[in-house]
Amino acid sequence: MPKDFKSFEASIGVEFNDLGLLRQAFTHRSYLNEHRGETLEHNERLEFLGDAVLELISTHFLYEKYPQENEGELTAYRAALVNAVTCAEVAESLGMNDFLLLSRGEAKDTGRARSILLANAFEALVGAIYIDSGYDAARGFIERNLFPKIDDIVRKKLWLDAKSSLQEKAQEHHGVTPHYVVLSESGPDHDKKFEVGVYIKETLLAEGSGKSKQEAEQAAARAALDKKGW
């Protein structure tokens, strides 16, 4: 069944000059492998651009919102605000899951694998808005949908180094230091995706994903802290 991208466009309050760009933002590489007649590209280039736009706009926002914070804390705030987990949450809230163009195999993925696809599509959507309508339109979209997350991130201290917190708690409760194992990695060299597990001895506590091993480890540590109630 064809996706109604006009309805999605209306739902996010952004009117595209080129609706093909919006469709491209949702197009996974795997979809094109099964639809050889498609003239559109997949969304990886848009994701690459959107990632940079998202970082710049978020950096400017945090710089102005927290004038007393130093560079280190602003960097930690930004990492928590634009990471794959947060972007996937926003994408889910916007209903982007219903518009993803995936292969039959990818469409069966759920959980963390689907979260990564959603986070990537969110970044690609930012890139598409930027190309189609410019910086101000991209900033408005991010302000409406992503920036409301920051108050919760700061209040709950989600920006803190989760690995350090987990290490302290694991040593306190179990007398051991957690260790991290890369469970899988995928994607081209310029856009890797990592899945990491955090273990206490031989027991898997939780898993996390990210665009670097460090980001995936932090996500796994946060998940472990939540799971253990620490």
Residues labelled as active-site residues: 51, 123
**DSSP codes of every residue in the chain:** ----HHHHHHHHT---S-HHHHHHHTB-HHHHHH-TT--S--SHHHHHHHHHHHHHHHHHHHHHH-TTS-HHHHHHHHHHHHSHHHHHHHHHHTTGGGG-B--HHHHT--HHHHHHHHHHHHHHHHHHHHHHH-HHHHHHHHHHHTGGGHHHHHHTTTTS-HHHHHHHHHHHHHSS--EEEEEEEES-GGG-EEEEEEEETTEEEEEEEESSHHHHHHHHHHHHHHHHT-
